[in-house]
Amino acid sequence: MDPLPTASRLLVTALSLRICTRRALPMRFRASCILDKQLRTPQQKRLYSQPVSRQPVIDRSASKLFKSADDAVADILSGSTILSAGFGLCGVAETLIHAIKSRGSESLHSLTVVSNNAGIEGAGGLALITKSGQVTKLILSFLGNNKALEKKYLTGHITIELCPQGTLAERIRAGGAGIPAFYTPTAVNTLLQDGKIPAQFDSKGNVIGYGTPREVREFNGRKYLMETALTGDVAILRAWKVDEAGNCIFRYTTKAFGPIMAKAARLTIVEAEEIVPIGALNPNDVHLPGIFVDRIVPATAPKHIEIKRLRRPSLESGKPLGQNDAAARRYRIAKRAAKELKHGYYVNLGVGLPTSAADHVPEGTQVWLQSENGILGMGPHPTEEEVDPDIINAGKETVTLLPGASTFDSAESFSMIRGGHVDVSILGALQVSASGDLANYMIPGKVFKGMGGAMDLVGNPDATKVVVATEHVAKDGSSKIVQKCALPLTGAKCVSTIITDMCVFEVDRKKGELWLTEVAEGVSVEDVRTKTDADFKVVENVRNMEEW
C-alpha cells in the first residue's frame, strides 16, 4: 500500500479534530464540526448566519478618511439601528443622511433611528429618510412640527417610541459607557412608567402598540424608574474640525448629542466641516477622542436654521408687543414670572411664554439662563449680523451667548437638571392641578408632539423650584387650573407656583392644597373663583401681582 494517502488522511483527520476543539472558534463553527465528524471536514458555510462580507468593517490599521459620504455608508445593513446626532436641524449629519437616502429603500431599509427629533419636512434632517420609507421605527423625545411624520405615525406607517430628552441622553451615555441600566426620577407616575404611551397605530388610527412599562424602585423614600441603555450599529454626526486620527471639535450647541452617540455605536461616521492633519488640534480643545471615530468624510451639505428668531426693538424697550388683549395678558404673566428669578440664580425657561420672563429681569440682576440642549449663559435673540446656525435654544430658535457662557452635551445638561443644580424652572401648561400635577405635552387625539425635556425639568422639585406660567383659561374657555388633571401627566406633585394673567397660586405639594396669594389689577377673588375649576384657599392679605 502506498503510505502517502494514509498519511494524508491522518493529517487531515488530526487537523480537523484540532480545529473542532479550539475554544477561540465561534460556537456555530464547533457545532458544525461535531455534526459532520464522520467526514471530519468542517462546513464553513454554516459559520455565520450572515455573510461576513456584508458586515461594516472596522480596520484599525487603515486610514479613517473616506472619499465621500456615499462610500462611508455603502456597507450599512438594512435593519440597522442608527444613532443620528443633532438638535432640530442644528448639528445634523446632513451629508450622511443624504447619502443614506441615495441608497434607496430597496438597498437600505427597515432602519431604527435614535435621535432627539426627526427633522423638518421639506427642510432637512431625518425627514429625508422617513419620507423615503427607509425608517420603520424612531426613538425620539420630540416630533416637533413635522406634520408629515405625525401623519405617518398616526396612520400606522411608522413606529415611534417617545422618551424624555434627558433620559434619552442618559440611555445613550450609559450605552457608550458599558452600563446596561440605571434609575432616574424622570417620568415617575406618568404614562411612561406604566408603558401606556402609544407607539404604534393601525391605518385607521387605532392604537395597536404601546411602550414598555418601567420597573419602579424606591431609594431614600423616592420612587425611580429603571431605564435601559441604548446602543447603535452606526452613529452619524457632524463636527466642526476633525483631524485624521478622528479627534473632533464641535461648535457651540452642535455638541448636544454628538459625543455621546459616537461612544454608543459599533461604527461611528463623522462628517467634518474641516479635516486637518494629525497634530493640528490642541489636545485641550478636543471634545471627542479619536478612539470613538471610525470613518471621516467631508461635510458638503449646507447648514440649516430651523427657526431664525431675531431681536426685536420692542423687546429691548420692555414694552408689550402689540396692543391686543392676548399680548397684554402674556406681558403680565412674563413680568410677574421674572420676579421668581433672583440675582445669581441658574434658571431654565421653557419654550414660548416662559422665555419672555428673561426680558423683564431688572438691570443689575445677574441670572444664568440654562437651555437643555447645552447652554449655560444664554443671551437674547441675535441681530441679523449675529445669527449663527450653531447657536440655538431648546426651541430651535437662534440665540446669542453672554460673556461667561459655556456649552456642553445633552447628558451634561440634564445632569445639571436632575441633580438639582438649577434653581428655578419655568414651564407652560395645558393643565395644572391643585396638588401641583402638571400636564403640558399631549392632548390625546389632538396634540402628540412628545415630552422633550419637560419630564426631566420637573423630576427634582425639592431641589429645583417648578413654576408654571400660563394663561388662566384655554382657547375654548376651559380652566387650566383644575382639581385633577384629565390630560397625561408630565410630572406629579411637582409645581410650587402658578402664575396666570389673573392671579398667582402657591401650591402646598405635601397637603395637595392651592393658595391664592396675588391677583392682577382689576381682578377680584370672585373673578378667580369663576374661572378656576380647582378648589383653593385665600391668604389673609392678597397682594396685587403687579405692584411688588
Task: Give every strand in the sheet of 216-219, ordered side by side.
Answer: 181-184, 222-228, 216-219
Our separate counts of H helices and E strands in the chain read 14, 28
Q: Would you say 434 and 396 are in contact if contact means Cβ atoms under 8 Å apart?
A: no
Identity of the residue numbered 508: D
Q: What is the DSSP string of 496-532?
A: -EEE-SSEEEEEETTTTEEEEEEE-TT--HHHHHHH-
Q: Which set of grid coordinates corresponds to residue 136?
A: 420603520
Q: Would you say 69 and 97 are in contact if contact means Cβ atoms under 8 Å apart?
A: no
Residues 6+ apart with CB under 8 A from 78: 107, 108, 109, 110, 111
- The SS3 of residue 398 is strand
Task: Round to whole Å and give the CA distance between 543 and 101.
Answer: 60
Which residue, among 254, 237, 265, has the nearest Cα to 172 in the 3D structure?
Answer: 265
Residue from 306, 372, 397, 518 carrying the catalytic annotation: 372
Which residue, among 293, 233, 304, has the nearest Cα to 269 in the 3D structure?
Answer: 293
Residues 6+ apart with CB under 8 A from 358: 338, 341, 349, 367, 369, 380
Burial 184-208 (b: 16+ CB within 10 A, else e): bbbbbbbbbbeeebbbbbeeeeeee
The helix, strand and coil proportions of the chain, stated in percent and rounded to the nearest 5, come to 25, 25, 45
Q: Would you say 480 and 512 are in contact if contact means Cβ atoms under 8 Å apart?
A: no
| Neighbour tally for 353: CB within 10 Å | 22
Provide Rg for the chain, Cα atoms: 28
Task: Round to whole Å and give the CA distance between 234 and 496.
Answer: 43
Q: Would you say 128 and 186 are in contact if contact means Cβ atoms under 8 Å apart?
A: no
In angstroms, how far is CA 49 from the centroid of its own chain?
35
| Neighbour tally for 302: CB within 10 Å | 9
Residues 6+ apart with CB under 8 A from 121: 127, 131, 146, 147, 148, 149
Task: Round to whole Å and give the CA distance between 314 and 221.
Answer: 49
Task: Round to whole Å and give the CA distance between 494 and 462.
Answer: 8
Q: State the first-to-last Cα distance of the chain, in angstroms, to the nearest integer.
A: 113
Which residue, among 332, 306, 477, has the nearest Cα to 393 in the 3D structure?
Answer: 306
521 is catalytic: no
Residues 6+ apart with CB under 8 A from 412: 374
Active-site residue list: 372
